[in-house]
Structure 1
Amino acid sequence: MDLDRPLGGIHVPLITPFDADGTVAAAALEGLAHSALDGGAAGLVALGTTAEAATLDAEERGTVIEIVGRVCRERGAWLTVGAGSNDTRRSGEELRALAGTGAAAALVPVPYFTRPSEAGVIAHVEALAADSPVPLIIYNIPYRTGQTLGIEALLRLAAIPGVVGVKHAVGGIDQDTVALLGAELPGFAVLAGDDVFAPALLALGAAGAVLASAHLLTERWVELARTGDRALGHRLATLAAAVFAEPNPTVIKAVLHAHGRIPGPGVRLPLLPAGGPSLETALRAWDAAGDTRVRTHALIGEAS
């Protein structure tokens, strides 16, 4: 998919809804994709962590890409597909398989668990970018990968041809984050990836964000990215904290189910469904963030 606009704005990494029998709920997924774009999202991410991609088989992964890709083509939206691992060779194979899918970019994690040196991370990305049919967005999330990248390594990654951005999720606002956001990096977008800290990163100059929380109140996240409204940012950060009170995407699925947007709140092991208190807190945070259409108490009763 060739888009004539730069990478930026709010991107929603879609969950994978399941029917009662545990299969992918295709119609619900398509509905979520359209809803996010109706709310003003610039793009969608298929097969991210929020999608429970690690638990999907090859056929299911193909189904997700086909559905989300079709919606993005119809709506002229940016499609990013999660791909890659800590194996450079296998990551290259996954990226080459994206040819012809309509993907505008691939979201590729910093190699995890093996914890290569920064030079090894850079070599990994150089090898992938040189042979990928789509541009790469690096997923920098050290509390999941076990690999911290300093500002010099981040700037070297930004300079690699074929790398167009980073989903930056380091668990806070550190000195390297401030330096990265202050750098002049033509053709390279810094996207906030920590939902709770996204309002702060947007205020510091992030080009956009990839946010699981943006399943909920997408239009308010888009408004925040456009206006920088501090009060709205605080409310959305509170909502983000509520939906991440249990492992992602369990609370988001519980909320979406309470609103009748997906058939059930089910997740695949090793995740477990969110508990009732987390759902109640998230529904109240949704209200406080400004969605006056929601009847919190009624929804809690219907979900119990």
Structure 2
Amino acid sequence: MNWICRFGRVRLVDMAQDTTQDTTQDIARTAPQGTAGTAPQGTAGTVPLHGIHVPLVTPFAPSGEVAAGALEALAHEVLDAGATGIVALGTTGEAAALDEEERDLVTGVCARVCGERGAVLTVGAGASGTRAAETSLAGLARWPQAGAALVTVPSFVRPSAAGVLAHFERLAAVSPVPLVVYHVPYRTGQPLDATTLRALGSLPGVVGVKYAVGALDQDAVELLGDRPAGFHVLAGDDVHVSAMLALGASGGILASAHLATERFAELAAAWRAGDAVHARTLGHALAGLSAATFAEPSPGVVKGVLHAQGRIPTPDVRLPLLPASQAAVTAALERLDTLTRARTGEA
């Protein structure tokens, strides 16, 4: 199957719902100063965090090394199909299972593609300790194409809310690129309420949050109802992206969007345009695909489907993850086929 030809070249455009105030705040907030007081080397000006950002898997060759060619092709494919940007070294990319040389390879491939395409590159960085996180972020200065860093809330150590704020304030002051806070308490063990998230969003140099609490909860409602100007809330739970967009999220960072990039971009555009009827129908269908995609530990099912489509050379993941079962891959393929037939009017 020629995936690019099948889905065509669709580009998502910023819609009128972005306010002038947000744009002005973006410009001010995305230019943190480096440690020497000089301008950072990251992307200047606004960071367009609207729309769909795909946290790319890291494909592996049969011999086990990173399949750089397949990674580059995937990056181009999702951008062709309407993604606003890509995320390198996210959880979906198995960053924890890569060595330093491999992480540099992945970042370099993604940076080259985003540079060629004028797309947003977000790179996973950070650590549980603040000094280690500073070191991780400093390394991003090597990649001038990087527009933002996706930084998890400190895991395992469980600081107070004040400690989390101090951590990100310190990081934002020295980071060469703006920060997107990755709030995923079922992985970090660190819940944050809407008040704390608003405080994080008010820090200079913090431009967004990937909100992935495993539910559409009251804190999400409160945050989206009163978010700081220029602060983007990005859905991080694929199943809930439609509801989050309906409540005012800017977009999403979605592993499922590897498999139906154009439809997820269409969903984001529909909500931004106020086409609730179409968005609800499409959102329900995509939620079914997302549920199938996460039926087993991520990114196993995504990789299994990509391999079945001939888009990556193996479905392999690295221990302690295991490849997805054939039943899970088949279920996701069936959901994807239903979406395709519905789009072409065959359903």
Fold agreement, TM-score > 0.5: yes
Letter in 1 for 2:110: V
User: How much does 1:290 deviate?
Assistant: 2.7
Decide which of 86, 91, 95 is 2:128's aligned counterpart.
86
Partner of 2:305: 255
Q: Secondary structure of 1:289's match?
A: helix
Is residue 2:318 matched to residue 1:268?
Answer: yes
Aligned 8 A contact 1:18 1:263 in 2: yes
Is residue 2:74 matched to residue 1:24?
Answer: no
Q: Secondary structure of 2:86's match?
A: strand
CA distance in 1, matches of 2:227, 2:294: 32
Q: Secondary structure of 2:190's match?
A: coil
Letter in 2 for 1:257: H
User: How much does 1:5 deviate?
Assistant: 5.5
Decide which of 292, 296, 313 is 1:242's aligned counterpart.
292
- Identical-pair percentage: 60
Aligned 8 A contact 1:3 1:78 in 2: no
Q: How does 1:1-304 map to 2 (within 5 A)?
A: 1-2=43-44, 4=46, 6-101=48-143, 102-228=145-271, 229-290=279-340
Partner of 1:301: none
User: If the length of structure 1 is used for normalisation, what is the TM-score?
Assistant: 0.94
CA distance in 2, matches of 1:140, 1:43: 19
Letter in 1 for 2:65: T
User: How much does 1:289 deviate?
Assistant: 2.2
CA gap 1:111/1:184 in 2 versus in 1, 3 angstroms: closer
CA gap 1:99/1:18 in 2 versus in 1, 3 angstroms: same
Letter in 1 for 2:321: L
Aligned 8 A contact 1:6 1:187 in 2: no
User: How much does 1:199 deviate?
Assistant: 1.1
CA distance in 2, matches of 1:165, 1:292: 34
Aligned 8 A contact 1:8 1:207 in 2: yes
User: If the length of structure 2 is used for normalisation, what is the TM-score?
Assistant: 0.83
Q: Secondary structure of 1:290's match?
A: helix
CA distance in 2, matches of 1:129, 1:7: 17
CA distance in 1, matches of 2:339, 2:226: 32
User: How much does 1:291 deviate?
Assistant: 5.5
What is the CA RMSD across the aligned residues, in angstroms? 1.4
User: How much does 1:28 deviate?
Assistant: 0.2
Partner of 1:298: none
CA gap 1:268/1:184 in 2 versus in 1, 3 angstroms: closer
State the Cα deviation string for residues 92-120 of structure 1 (Å, max 9, x = none). Answer: 00101101302100000000111111111
Unaligned runs of 5+ in 2: 1-42, 272-278
Aligned 8 A contact 2:125 2:149 in 1: yes
Runs of 4+ in structure 1 over 6 Å off: none
CA distance in 1, matches of 2:114, 2:45: 11
Partner of 2:40: none
Aligned 8 A contact 2:289 2:332 in 1: yes
The total of aligned residue pairs comes to 294
